[in-house]
Amino acid sequence: MIDNEHDFGVRQWVVGGTTVMELSGELDLYAGESAGARLDEACAGPQPDVVVDLRGLSFLDCSGLSVLIRARRRTLERGGRFGLVADHPPVLRLLRLTRTTGVFAVHGDLASALAARGTTGPSAATGGAIA
């Protein structure tokens, strides 16, 4: 799903029980509502296992970060795991400045994030089935 007017998109698939959400474009106040709804769905079940790939983001502000923090909290409340994939310097800088690098499990690539969960497979590299 791409919102062309506001340059935000979400792709989602499951790899070995882990829900991968790939965000692209700008995660800001406007996109936060859409991203929050999708993350709420992914984090709703018992013991959710969620990895959010932020490498496609060109911009992340504090309202977008708030959406990620809320999703992490909900995941942990349900006994699940929540991780991020990030390598874009401005995104990593925001995580450092807000002192949330220690809050999130942050990985440099999707393969590392999935390996940390004991999940591997060909669909991890290709994106698997997109919902």
pLDDT of 2: 47
pLDDT of 122: 38
Residue 82 neighbours by CB under 8 Å, 6+ apart: 43, 48, 50, 51, 52, 71, 72, 75, 76, 104, 105
- The answer to whether 78 and 50 are in contact (CB under 8 A) is no
Give me the residues paired with residue 15 across strands. 18
pTM as predicted: 0.85
pLDDT of 118: 77
Task: Return averaged pLDDT per consecutive 10 residues of the chain, 131 residues in all.
Answer: 67 94 94 93 93 96 96 95 95 94 93 84 40 31
- The answer to whether 94 and 66 are in contact (CB under 8 A) is no
